[in-house]
Amino acid sequence: MEFFKWCMIAAGFGMAIGAAFTGIAQGLAIKSAVEGVARNPGAGGKVMTTMMIGLAMIESLAIYVFVVAMIILFANPFTDIVVKLAGVATGQ
């Protein structure tokens, strides 16, 4: 069962790190876009479009982190191996 505890910890840390860095990246992207529009209001449409595409790319990173965390928790490819080894180790 130690393996599954570490899987839960790894998934939790992965989600925390992924969410933190995507949040920071999105904040910096929006900050830069607002500064760009403040300097040149005429370019607001192009800046907004580019910012939205960039935010979608950044958000996809968070979705990938979530998918990997769910795979670690629920569809771990090593689950069968660990259960077999645990059965051998305990003599079952």
Taking the chain (92 residues) in runs of 10, the rounded mean pLDDT of each run is 81 90 92 93 91 91 89 78 71 56
| Backbone torsions φ then ψ of 40, nearest 5 degrees | -140, 85
Q: Give the residue among 77, 56, 78, 74 at the shortest CA–CA distance from 66.
A: 74
Fold of 2-90: F1FO ATP Synthase (1.20.20)
**What burial class does residue 29 get, using C-beta atoms within 10 Å of its C-beta: 0-12 exposed, 13-18 middle, 19+ buried?**
middle
| pLDDT reported for residue 81 | 77
Residue 39 has what pLDDT? Answer: 93
pLDDT of residue 91: 56
The C-alpha atoms of residue 27 and residue 21 are separated, in whole angstroms, by 10
